[in-house]
Structure 1
Amino acid sequence: MDIVPTWDGNTSTLAKWILRVETNAKRSPMVRRQLGMAEQRDHCELSWDNIHDEIEVYYMNRAGVERTWKQARALSYREPGHEDEHPGQSSIRKRELLDLVFHNTSESEQISEILAGAPRSWLMTLTPRLYHTTRELQNAIKLQEDDLMEIQESFLLEYGHD
């Protein structure tokens, strides 16, 4: 069970923790079952999926989902507390929140949501209709990261806002 990262109990870090454990659980059926044994309830001992469901029920109830959804929608590039982030980091942060609350959204919906928090100036470089998956979008953002930062800085100097 050394592969299970420790969660600090802070609901704002829950998404990242779940995604890290989920990655470990996908490695093999045995790991998935063993992760389920970390909880004492019989139901949870069956698999990681059951523990994941229990966590969602408790922490991601309707109020939690709505709070996380609002947080994801409001997330923006270089917002307070993330002033030094790069474009790729911002888009990953948003995608992680979206993944936590929306398991069944389409790739195009996720791409739209990710770009909704991006500076409008990025659309001078990125062409959303060319990306069919969030992975393609992430790759494009990473590839053009320096250009996106330079365009944003120039835009802010000229107009003072996004």
Structure 2
Amino acid sequence: MAKIYPELDREYIISNEKLNLDKIMQDIIPLYIMDININSSTIFATNNEEIHIDNEEIIYGITESVRKASYRSIKDILKYIILFYIEENILDPSNSLIILRISDDGQNVGYYVKYVMITCSILNDISNLQISERHYTIVLYPGIEDYQILQNILMLLIHDL
């Protein structure tokens, strides 16, 4: 496409811009990596079939994420988004009550890998609750929805709240 339309941005320009945006967001809402105490057998679905992944980058990413969770502080998220909600007249600056919904959902990412995502949304924004951009990821970890794992991971969230 870039040969036909020379005015299109090249892949390296888009990639560099993505890296710049990631760095800016890391400065605004830091991403923390935390260890979770789970049994490695809960990370992947148990199946007798052979795994056919030979991409070294994917294998490295999966092995580095074993027993680790990504966490963003809910306080940092709220500091970042609260002005947006005030500008849209969803939150009233004179009323400090913010009603949060915290939920989790497990997903299969491929056949063998499962992830759990814990998100929050502001219930004051009733008309936009179904929009995915209004749900903010707090925790992401490989594994299953297990009470003990969730209890370990949510300690930081509970402390922040």
Q: TM-score range by the shorter chain?
A: under 0.3
Which one has a larger percent strand, Structure 1 or Structure 2? 2
Q: Please report the TM-score for the alignment, with normalisation by the length of structure 2.
A: 0.26
The one of the two structures with greater contact order (alpha-carbon pairs below 8 A, sep at least 6) is 2
Which one has a larger percent helix, Structure 1 or Structure 2? 1
- Larger CA Rg, structure 1 vs 2: 2
